Amino acid sequence: MTLATLADVLGPALSGGYAVAGLVVLGWEDARAYVDAAESEGLPVILQAGPGCRRHTPLEVLAAMFKTLGNSAGVPVVAHLDHATSIKECRHAIDCGFTSVMFDGSHFPLEQNIELTAEAAQVAHSAGVSCEGEIGIVGHSGGKTSSSTVPDEAEQFARSTGIDAMAISVGNLHLQRAPSATIELDRIRAVESVVNIPLVLHGGSGIDTKMRQRLAAETAVCKFNIGTELRMVFGKALRSAMKKDPNRFDRVEILKETEEPVRETTRSIIRSIGPQRLSQPN
């Protein structure tokens, strides 16, 4: 199966009342575990290259990795650029083969965010690629503060940019190590009453499983970005592998032991927010 766009997987999610997992990739081992998990569940997955990943690995390498996994998978796989802050970076990712880009202009004034995000969407759509934008500011746990999405601004943003999906700030935070976010359901309802596109929640690790399930089934939230939760599983598995034998040095053998724990946690995440009638667990 060839790579899919964000619109390819989120359109059915919006109409079907479920969500797709946007999973933060840091390397080959976790990316492969994510796709294996999606295949086991018979559901799509979004592989995301965020700023931290891109500082470590060139976009050309990430694109080749995502394309290799997507083209050999039996389920839709989206190659997604997360939190791009320039049109140049979006163009570069598209040229490399990414099928989806997220332009993050949330830190700009509304008019500038609209202008730049609309340009990113035009660039993406002209190449047959999807575009996600962000309105409101999603803060970081212990860091940058949030600014909740204003429904009227969200309507203007969605209408004026032509984006395929819209990330919103409704109590979700990046980098939360525990599911402690207090989600503003009323704000989500207000936003979805004035827009007709899939909504995205960044900082999905901070949202507990029951709330994710509820949002996926009952609202227009069709994508949860999840990274910290899976990185913690990876780190625990890596420490366990090293403790088995302090003299081990073969990185391939050590890193192999991280894949099963990450894969099984990913399966649980994908299954919990997906349409149960389509799940095909082994």
Greater confidence (99 vs 144) lies with: 99
Sign of the torsion formed by the C-alpha atoms of 160, 81, 19 and 141: negative
Nearest to 20 by CA among 39, 42, 36, 44: 44
Alpha carbon distance 68, 35 (integer Å): 11
Average pLDDT over residues 164-178: 88
What is the model's pLDDT at position 276?
Answer: 59
At residue 118, does pLDDT exceed 70? yes
At residue 246, does pLDDT exceed 70? yes
What is the model's pLDDT at position 277?
Answer: 45
Average pLDDT over residues 59-83: 97
What is the model's pLDDT at position 173?
Answer: 79
Catalytic residue among 82, 152, 164, 208: 82
What is the model's pLDDT at position 223?
Answer: 98
List own/partner pairs for 57-63 with CB under 8 A and 24 or more apart: 57/27, 59/92, 59/93, 59/96, 59/98, 60/96, 62/25, 62/96, 63/93, 63/96, 63/97, 63/98
φ and ψ at residue 79, rounded to 5 degrees: -100, 105
- Of the ranges 89-93, 120-124, 185-189, 243-247, which one carries the lowest mean pLDDT score? 243-247
Supply 171's token pair: 């109590």
Instruction: Please answer whether residues 176 and 146 qualify as being in contact, where contact means their C-beta atoms are separated by less than 8 angstroms.
Output: no
Greater confidence (194 vs 181) lies with: 194
Q: Which helix (H) or strand (E) holds 62?
A: helix 59-72
**Among the four given CATH numbers 3.40.50.300, 3.30.460.20, 3.40.630.30, 3.20.20.70, the one describing domain 6-278:** 3.20.20.70
At residue 279, does pLDDT exceed 60? no
At residue 256, does pLDDT exceed 70? yes
Largest separation between any pair of C-alpha atoms in the chain: 59
- Confidence band of 171 (pLDDT split at 50, 70, 90): confident
Residue 57, C-beta contacts closer than 8 angstroms, at least 6 positions apart: 27, 49
Sign of the torsion formed by the C-alpha atoms of 185, 210, 196 and 92: positive
Work out the number of other CB atoms within 10 angstroms of the CB of residue 88: 10
Supply 144's token pair: 């940058």
Query: Highest mean pLDDT range out of 116-125, 137-146, 253-262?
Result: 116-125
Average pLDDT over all residues of the chain = 93
- Confidence band of 204 (pLDDT split at 50, 70, 90): confident
What is the model's pLDDT at position 1?
Answer: 67
Residue type, 83: H
- Of the ranges 96-110, 135-149, 153-167, which one carries the lowest mean pLDDT score? 135-149
Q: Which helix (H) or strand (E) holds 56?
A: helix 51-56
- Confidence band of 141 (pLDDT split at 50, 70, 90): confident
Q: Which CA distances in Å does 190 have to 21, 145, 256, 262?
A: 23, 22, 45, 36
- Under DSSP, is residue 85 helix (H, G, I), strand (E, B) or coil? coil
Supply 98's token pair: 């990414």
Helix-strand-coil split of the chain, %, nearest 5: 50, 15, 30
Alpha carbon distance 272, 20 (integer Å): 10
Cα of first residue to Cα of last residue in the chain, in angstroms, is 20
At residue 28, does pLDDT exceed 50? yes
At residue 84, does pLDDT exceed 90? yes
Alpha carbon distance 280, 41 (integer Å): 5
At residue 280, does pLDDT exceed 50? no
Enter the pTM of the model.
0.94
- Domain ranges in the chain? 6-278
Task: Give catalytic status of residue 95 as yes or no.
Answer: no
- Confidence band of 278 (pLDDT split at 50, 70, 90): very low
Average pLDDT over residues 140-161: 88
